A and B are shown apart, each in its own frame.
Chain A
């Protein structure tokens, strides 16, 4: 069996480079992270300084801090070979001529050109107190640059001599290399059959030890139960505040739980992807904290987790959670609907806390699904 140790092709081919769609999604995710960070800076300035003026204009210090934060983010993530968004999509920045990692010179030049270009495009608006991203259309125009050349390079790629490749596709193209192992052919039918069955059993037991479905289902149950409790509290603001924190905290708890499982039993799924999901969901929650969509963002996070863990049960649970919370959180759509349909019967049970009942039912459903998933995982 001969397998090349690395993929570094002599010259990166167009097929390996990331196309417009992937780079756009990665850029949107990075934009989300940066927007959340700038929002935190601006909001903490508002809270600390409490400016009197009706139209608040950030002082140069706050603007400078924002520029430094953005610059450090771009520089640091480029130095690691991929931004957070690229890591999530499975992209990597490499040297265009040999596909190797970037040296300090390329890291600095790529980051500087990118920052200068985006800064110049945004600056006429950024300077007039409208804040960052007032005219993101210009960035879209800038990104069209990559359609003009063969390797999907943007201006900063071309100047620094870099190219963005898809790591996922390059590993897929390697699959053929170990195509046939001649010694396997020497197996007799019963031996091959026994080997197959044994491997299948081992695979299922290892898969069960991940607890990929049960742990997140229990956490979803806890989140729903917490939602029921939050609705029992009188001020409505507490209910919306709860949903702003539910997703990030829930995903972090899941990551911690996975990590503990991995420690205790000596095997488990890596939490790297889950940490990424938690970061993006946290940023999403920060950016949209004034809107009543915290529950939907939570659901998106758990759906992404289900995708990475390849768990259908969890995916279905996340969708159900998203639909119910999306309808219930802003308008109490479900509980009000039931109340209006059968007023006499429901009023006694629902009272003024219809959402509490809805979320309690949801919590029971998820706990039940979690227990049944756990049983299946134990059986292997």
Chain B
């Protein structure tokens, strides 16, 4: 899955990128605060569908940014997602890039005095 993402360019790239970033950065942002969260919590906070969230989490886990623990609580199956050290690093780096991007836009957008 990881190889697919990096090797072949996706057909609907830009829009797909936004969705991709929204979900992936969203997951990392939430975990950056709470460290560990259940699948259900992430789903409701980020308003994603089961399949969508599952896929994104698998990609993140494949890159070693989060770790997945499956278990039971009160006889109900639960999936816990925990951010790793690399995940923290990636989150910090990506937010820095995004902020830099916004700063550039702002500078360019300012009318010449």
Determine the interface band of chain B, counting residues with CB < 8 A from chain A: 35 or more
Do the beta carbons of B94 and A178 come within 8 Å of each other?
Answer: yes
Interface of A is mostly: helix
- Per-residue contact bits, chain A 294-325, to B (CB 8 Å; 1 contact, 0 not): 00000000000000000000000000000000
Contacting residues, chain B, for A61 (C-beta < 8 A)? none
- Check A196 against B102 for contact (C-beta < 8 Å): yes
Q: Which B residue's beta carbon lies closest to that of A4? A: B86
CB distance from B80 to the nearest CB of A (A): 9
- Known: A3-B90, A193-B102. Contact between A269 and B35, CB under 8 A? yes
Q: Which of A5, A185, A192 contacts B86 (CB 8 A)?
A: A5
CA distance A206 to B25 in the complex (A): 13
Residues of A in contact (CB 8 Å), total 42
- Taking a contact as CB atoms under 8 Å apart, the answer to whether B34 and A210 are in contact is yes
Residue B1 CB within 8 A of the other chain = no
Residues of B contacting A5 with CB < 8 Å?
64, 86
Interface flags for B40-83 (1: CB within 8 Å of A; 0: not) read 11100110000000000000000111000000010000100000
B25/A179 in contact, CB under 8 A: no
Interface residue from A171, A184, A199, A267 paired with B34 (Cβ < 8 Å): A267
List 7 interface pairs A-B (beta carbons < 8 Å), by A numbering.
A3-B63, A3-B64, A175-B93, A179-B97, A189-B102, A195-B25, A199-B29
B residues within 8 Å of A by Cβ? 13-14, 17-18, 20-22, 25-26, 29-30, 32-38, 40-42, 45-46, 63-65, 73, 78, 85-86, 88-90, 92-95, 97-99, 101-102, 105, 109
Q: Which residues of A contact B (CB under 8 A)?
A: 1, 3-5, 171, 174-181, 183-189, 191-193, 195-196, 198-199, 202-203, 205-207, 209-210, 262-263, 265-270
